[in-house]
Chain A
């Protein structure tokens, strides 16, 4: 039975959402001095406006909304859904004021794409965008990739009790450490480690390829944020193609793969358990699908004769496979070529790679390797059950930090999420068909939005139909939060109308 939420429930939701808005306001305010130092005064004032509004809303909510109840699991999930709906409104303010977005909904789309680490963009003339605004796009990747709620509350909250149940709402299936604050801080330590290696490596590669040191540093920072958070915004419209450097691409591939690894796997590696790389069901599944998809994609490209030597085919094809499979969305060729040059099979593999995504508990989106692995294990168990004598007991095991026995509910859960993702991808695709776009294009873009893939074949553009923009925003939100938090928020809204007192 649904209970209609009382005032205390609303206050709890508003109060926690306000805390996160407050935190995002503080981060936004840090961009103002950056803008003024870079001589981008209008952008600086835009950040002050955006940050001030967020701080007023955030601090005001703490004063006005005094709640007496405790944050339950349902509250937590609904709060996560609400935070992810509300925060992009504030994040969109400096974007809209930058003068690079035609409509308010475009700026909101961009902010949602940034926070949800999608990478689809509606920016006009990105190549002349103020550096501070461009930096904000990539900081949104950081906040969203790590989990806005967790990042903000870990930094600003003093107790861990309240945020424990918020953790899973942001698409993180399991805790790495018993204490949630320790888990969140471990995640930030992993980020710091990769940043301390990845940013200098990218910067050196960029300088070596001909970039001046200061612009090179900006590109290294933003590219790191995109690659490690498996996001998709690039500092320039030509994405990674503008660097013309196999070295930069190699560093990006390593960072994208690291970003697609779950933080639980990073923890195991941190503890020196390197065998997890070869035994873990998820790493095995990811390796299997990555290589399988690359092989089929290479066959597709070879059939169309898109590239004349294996060297070119490998460099371009492998980068795009990794970019799509990790749901990063960086490109080393103009993505228009996916339509005009790559035939049908290779783009279909890009869509498949985006749809599958990275590991659960990573920054990547999509169905996730663990679910694919569990489904394949379940299928194998069913086949063995049919083939073996009737009284045989078939037990399927898998390795995920320890050896575990496959249970029916796990397979059922994985199948449910798989089905939901397929509905999500097809739903957006159907609407694209309704507006007259070709099936391949509509499905490509819909999958990119729902799986946080971020690659685009040109449908997402400022004059895209409003309803498609709204649907893609919804897909980004639902795909990033893996359904549950959005369902909880929707349940809240339904309970207002249909719940009992």
Chain B
């Protein structure tokens, strides 16, 4: 299963190990880990709650991975995204791409993250000393995704 949505944390080393297991064609793995920051828009973030749209989320992520596979010659890819309540320093997302060489793995990994940030149905809500607030989408994320 190349995409997972889960509350639990994930072990990056173990996930990368499984991604490459038994396939000696793989000469490179590029990975990205997104983390919860303790400050956003000049406010202290105490906790962050991640909501998603069950039913659509896995489908949207799988489509993004499929799109990456169709554009680049990669061997395999993995996306894990957490939901529920997270704290600063917690891991949010892992995107990893295995390929024969680094070039396509790097590019496909960045593509997956740019598309995930603009197309996968997740929403962040931050709990700060001033109260709760939904994180606003960034125009720069749209611009990054539109490059591809």
Are A and B bound to each other? no
